[in-house]
Amino acid sequence: MHVVVASNPTARFGRSEPVGALVATRIAELGHRVQHIAAVDFAGQLEQTRFAMIQADVLVVVGGDGMVHLGVNVVGGTSKRLAVVPAGSGNDFATGLGIASTEAVLGALQATLAATPDRVDLIRIEHPDGVALAAGIVSVGFDADVNVRSFRLTRVPHRLRYRAAIVATLLRPRHRAFRVRLDGGPERSWRTLIAAVANHRTFGGGIPIAPSADARDGRLTSVFADELSYPRFLWLLGKVLRGRHEHDPRVHVVESGAVELASDEPVIVCADGEIVGRLPVRCSVMPGALQVLRAP
């Protein structure tokens, strides 16, 4: 078997860099042909990994949700398979699939590579600059603002960066006016702080933004909040952090196969914690488009 290992040398302040090398070494010891790619620049690593996967069978990503995002944009919608070694500050995708820890995967690499693939859905994101795929959450509201701010908090430890960005963004939360269309239906205007399109439950290292979402049901779960005063938003955010917001009358959770989002102001779009583009976007579900390997 030809395996490509792609690792993020900056995840957890570089502590995942030796994990990537260790994974590559252990896979080679199992008798497989291995190519290890570790690059700080996301675009460069994406290009290198795509080229390497032309001849490979399996892509193993070592890192957090950002590396999963890279992986699905390489092998999503193809016959190639993906394995995940969770070694980042946020491992929401791996956790959602029951992949518990770096050590658990390292101890079961042989069983992982031999496993029958588990098919999960992906999100296809069409935006003005192109097309991207996502495994987890597409965000354009408060959570996207938090993501963008977290990239700037370089002096904050990775494990604390996302929550520190939440606190900083709370000082000046920003309502935005969106135009929303579900499955090609009538357009609705929504002025909100919280707007996310989910393929699975959590983001930001375990925040359950969409507790009812399921990565295997062939549907997207969109979460929108009504316009709120600052005190009410803080109250609702507390519910979101505990996953108790879906039944709040000010929160609207809707399922669909496709979601179109637009705005009259510039809005950055984030997916799996990475910046992917800007509005307008069309998000559509790709049922069973990703083949994931994990130990039984």
Q: Are 122 and 133 in contact (CB under 8 A)?
A: yes
Mean pLDDT of the residues in the chain: 91
pLDDT tens track for 48-70 = 999 999 999 999 999 999 999 99
If you average pLDDT over residues 251-259, what whole number do you get?
Answer: 96
CATH of the domain at 142: 2.60.200.40
The answer on 199 and 260 residing in a single domain is yes
Q: Are 102 and 271 in contact (CB under 8 A)?
A: no
Q: Which of 1-15, 58-72, 222-236, 241-255 has the lowest mean pLDDT?
A: 1-15
The answer on 145 and 90 residing in a single domain is no
Total structural domains within the chain = 2
Among 253, 201, 241, residue whose Cα is nearest residue 93? 201
Burial class (CB in 10 A: 0-12, 13-18, 19+), 129: exposed
The answer on 103 and 28 residing in a single domain is yes
The answer on 171 and 107 residing in a single domain is no
Residue with tokens 């080229």: 51
Predicted confidence band of residue 17 (pLDDT cuts 50, 70, 90): low
Q: Is residue 189 assigned to a domain?
A: yes
Six token digits for residue 11:
């995840």
Q: How many CA atoms lie within 13 A of 118 on its CB side?
A: 18
If you average pLDDT over residues 237-255, what whole number do you get?
Answer: 92
pLDDT tens track for 156-170 = 776 677 778 888 888
Report strand pairing: 220-225 vs 195-198.
Answer: antiparallel
If you average pLDDT over residues 127-154, what whole number do you get?
Answer: 89
The pLDDT assigned to 85 comes to 95
The pLDDT assigned to 13 comes to 41
The answer on 214 and 154 residing in a single domain is yes
Q: What percent of the chain is modeled with pLDDT above 70? A: 97
Is the pTM of the predicted complex or chain greater than 0.85? Answer: yes
Sign of CA dihedral 145, 150, 153, 156: positive
Predicted confidence band of residue 14 (pLDDT cuts 50, 70, 90): very low
Q: Which of 38-42, 208-212, 235-239, 292-296 has the lowest mean pLDDT?
A: 38-42
Q: DSSP letter string over 131-184? A: EEEESSEEE-SHHHHHHHHHHH-TTS-HHHHHHHHHHHHHTS---EEEEEEETT
What are the helix (H) ranges across the chain? 17-29, 42-52, 65-75, 92-96, 102-106, 109-114, 142-152, 158-170, 230-242
Q: Is residue 95 assigned to a domain?
A: yes
Q: Is residue 17 assigned to a domain?
A: yes
Q: Is residue 122 assigned to a domain?
A: no
Six token digits for residue 41:
């620049």
* Cα distance from N-terminal residue to C-terminal residue, the chain: 19
Six token digits for residue 80:
């190639």
Q: DSSP letter string over 59-91? A: EEEEESHHHHHHHHHHHTTSS-EEEEEE-SS--
Six token digits for residue 48:
């290198």
Predicted confidence band of residue 113 (pLDDT cuts 50, 70, 90): very high
Domain with 176 in it: 133-288
The answer on 272 and 212 residing in a single domain is yes
The answer on 166 and 267 residing in a single domain is yes
The answer on 183 and 74 residing in a single domain is no
Examine the fold and report which residue of 86, 114, 142 is the final residue of a domain before the chain moves on.
114
- 3-state SS, residue 11: helix
The answer on 151 and 43 residing in a single domain is no
Q: Is residue 119 assigned to a domain?
A: no
The answer on 138 and 38 residing in a single domain is no
CATH of the domain at 66: 3.40.50.10330
Q: Is residue 70 assigned to a domain?
A: yes
* 37 pLDDT more than 50: yes
Q: Is residue 220 assigned to a domain?
A: yes
The answer on 107 and 171 residing in a single domain is no
The answer on 147 and 41 residing in a single domain is no
Q: Is residue 88 assigned to a domain?
A: yes
